Structure 1
Amino acid sequence: MWFKNLHLYRLHDQPQLDAGTLEESLAGQAACLIGRQEARRIGWTQPAGRAGTALLHELQGQRLIAAERQERILPAAVVREEVAERAAEIERQTGLPVHRRVKQELKEQAYEELLPKSHIKRQRIDLWWDTTRSLIAVNTSSRKRAEEALDLLRETLGSLKVTPLATQTLPMRAMTQWLVDEASRPASLLLGDKVELKAKGDDGVVRGRQVDLDSDDMQQLLATGRQASQLALQIEGQMGFVLHDDLAIKGIRFDDALLDEASETEDDGDAIVRFEADFLLMTRALGASIDQLIVWMGGEAALGVNGN
């Protein structure tokens, strides 16, 4: 249940949907087994997995939905080997070289025949829709996968106007300032032990793990003009994470006190009660942390709107 990564989006003109209407819409795009000739498919699945049947969990304005992405894994090397064998057989039978056009046809044939036999990879992508903040957060490390899930939601609802969350101060500038000037760090913000520094030119990237970010060596690197593109941070009482220069939040580790509170919640052995209680605790911590980050980076930036 506890999210590991987040891509954040501002929702514009938030659709006014009650839970029943939304769940009905989700059911119209429910996940089903990928077809034999399909390379990929995405649809809605139960956020609670086998423990539940609902496609939507909504509590105190917090919504949780989940997409299931299925993709057939057919390595290009397997197709190339099959094409090579078929081309070699034609050459043995005809005594003539196989032309490029024929090889392309063989490739298409091999792909169509091998695809139904390929392995199916499944991936679940959770979406947290905070109706109180008009915010959607997607639990995935990949921006591309987040956009796929949003595209599915847009198709499901008929319209979804969102933009990636952006702040007045660029994350790279804020992170670099926190590294350079200890006095600029907010009182409840602590530095972790992981950083990625990028140079303005072509000097490459410097990555550090389990390092003292206040060390003289780090300050010397920053003095050359390098800027922080990733920085491990901790918000006291909420969570630790790595902030990226596109405002993605990755490697989330929730505070021990929060996890202890979750473990002490009474659920009477009901898996759904436990699931929803954890969801509420998690979204409170995430929401408070996101609010703080926005304030620390000068507030939210106004951007154009994408969507239909």
Structure 2
Amino acid sequence: MWFKHLHLYRLHGAATIPAADLETALAEQAARPPAGQEARRVGWCPPAGRAGTALLHELQGQRLMTMLRHERLLPASVVREEVEERGADIEAREGRKLRRKEKQELKEQIYEEFLPQAFVRTQKVDLWWDTRRDLIAVNTSSRKRAEEALDLLRETLGSLKVTPLASRTLPMRAMTQWLAEEGSRPASLQLGDQVELKAKGDDGVLRARQVDLDSDEIQQLLAAGRQASRLGVEIEGRLGYVLHDDLTLKSLHFSDALIDEASETEDDGDAIVRLEADFMLMTQTLAEEIEQLIGWLGGEASQAASQDSA
């Protein structure tokens, strides 16, 4: 139970639903495989997997839920080959060329025939709801998957007003300054070893890994006008991550000391106890570091009501 990526959202104007009521609502949207002609389906599943049945884990105001996504895999090449084969048979039998509209109708027919037979891929996406701070975070590398999890939560609750977490100082501006001016860096922040630099013109994007970010080469690129759109940072003794210009945290890795602290919890082989102990320590650390990061970026930006999504 250690998150890898986080998309962060601010929750607006919503009363906290009691845990028991939320558990009931989650059950009404429980995951099940797609049926019939459904290409995909999402629903809630136990965060503990086969080790538990609870759809919600809540500890000291920290809630953990898991979206399970089913998606049928039907390669376009398979459909295309079948369209070509059936189309050729029709043309030979009727002695004419199929019109574009007929080929499209044939394609749709074949897709509907083949879809129920396609393999189903599953994907789990964890959602962390910090009820004390009105913060929601989704553990996925994809913004699209994060929005899908929020849509499911919105459907589950009936309404949900959230906006991406935003800071007064743009992350790109702060990251560029941290790179260019060592003295501007917060005391507990250390540079990692990866960066993405964007040019103002059409010179594209430069990505570098396992490099010295204080090197002359990096400084020359900054002097030439490039700005940091991604930056690896380390918080001594706690965790590291890659900060993106949209305030997404990716490639999270927690310190050995933190992992060792979590392992000291006696679980007697109980997977639920292990899950909840790791979750509590992880979210406590993340909540503190997110607040610290927002402070480094000048505080949280206000969000106009028109930007809320419902």
Q: TM bucket by the smaller chain?
A: over 0.9
Tell me whether 1:59 sits opposite 2:56 in the alignment: no
Per-residue CA deviation, residues 72-130 of structure 1 (Å, 9 max, x unaligned), is 11121211111111100011111211111211111011100111111111110100000
Alignment of 1:224-239 (within 5 A): 224-239=224-239
Per-residue CA deviation, residues 28-64 of structure 1 (Å, 9 max, x unaligned), is 1010111131011000110111111000000011000
Amino acid at match of 1:230: R
Amino acid at match of 2:309: G
Verify the 8 A CA contact 2:5 2:252 in the aligned structure 1: yes
Distance in 2 (CA, whole Å) between partners of 1:16 and 1:292 is 25
Counterpart in 1 of 2:240? 240
Distance in 2 (CA, whole Å) between partners of 1:155 and 1:237 is 39
TM-score of the superposed pair, with normalisation by structure 2: 0.98
Distance in 1 (CA, whole Å) between partners of 2:154 and 2:55 is 16
Q: CA deviation at 1:303?
A: 1.2
Distance in 2 (CA, whole Å) between partners of 1:262 and 1:301 is 34
Counterpart in 2 of 1:78? 78
Counterpart in 1 of 2:111? 111
Per-residue CA deviation, residues 127-181 of structure 1 (Å, 9 max, x unaligned), is 0000111000000000010001001100110111100000000000010000000
Distance in 1 (CA, whole Å) between partners of 2:6 and 2:184 is 25
Distance in 1 (CA, whole Å) between partners of 2:285 and 2:300 is 19
Alignment of 1:142-181 (within 5 A): 142-181=142-181
Tell me whether 1:187 sits opposite 2:184 in the alignment: no
Verify the 8 A CA contact 1:6 1:250 in the aligned structure 2: yes
Question: Any unmatched runs of 5+ in structure 1?
Answer: none
Amino acid at match of 1:229: S
Q: CA deviation at 1:304?
A: 2.4
Verify the 8 A CA contact 1:163 1:304 in the aligned structure 2: no
Verify the 8 A CA contact 1:172 1:227 in the aligned structure 2: yes
Counterpart in 1 of 2:309? 307
TM-score of the superposed pair, with normalisation by structure 1: 0.98
Distance in 2 (CA, whole Å) between partners of 1:274 and 1:145 is 26
Alignment of 1:86-125 (within 5 A): 86-125=86-125
Q: SS state of the match for residue 252, structure 1?
A: strand
Counterpart in 2 of 1:136? 136
Per-residue CA deviation, residues 221-276 of structure 1 (Å, 9 max, x unaligned), is 00011000010001112211100000000000001100001111111221111110
Amino acid at match of 2:200: K
Number of equivalent positions: 308
Q: SS state of the match for residue 232, structure 1?
A: strand
Verify the 8 A CA contact 2:127 2:136 in the aligned structure 1: yes
Amino acid at match of 2:199: A
Counterpart in 1 of 2:258? 258
- Which stretch of the first structure deviates more once superposed, 73-82 or 179-188? 73-82
Question: Any unmatched runs of 5+ in structure 2?
Answer: none
Verify the 8 A CA contact 2:16 2:131 in the aligned structure 1: no
Q: SS state of the match for residue 137, structure 1?
A: strand
Counterpart in 2 of 1:200? 200
TM superposition outliers: structure 1 runs of 4+ over 3 Å: none
Coordinate RMSD, CA, aligned: 0.8
Distance in 1 (CA, whole Å) between partners of 2:92 and 2:140 is 50
Counterpart in 2 of 1:30? 30
Q: SS state of the match for residue 295, structure 2?
A: helix
Verify the 8 A CA contact 1:166 1:247 in the aligned structure 2: yes
Counterpart in 2 of 1:290? 290
Verify the 8 A CA contact 1:159 1:307 in the aligned structure 2: no
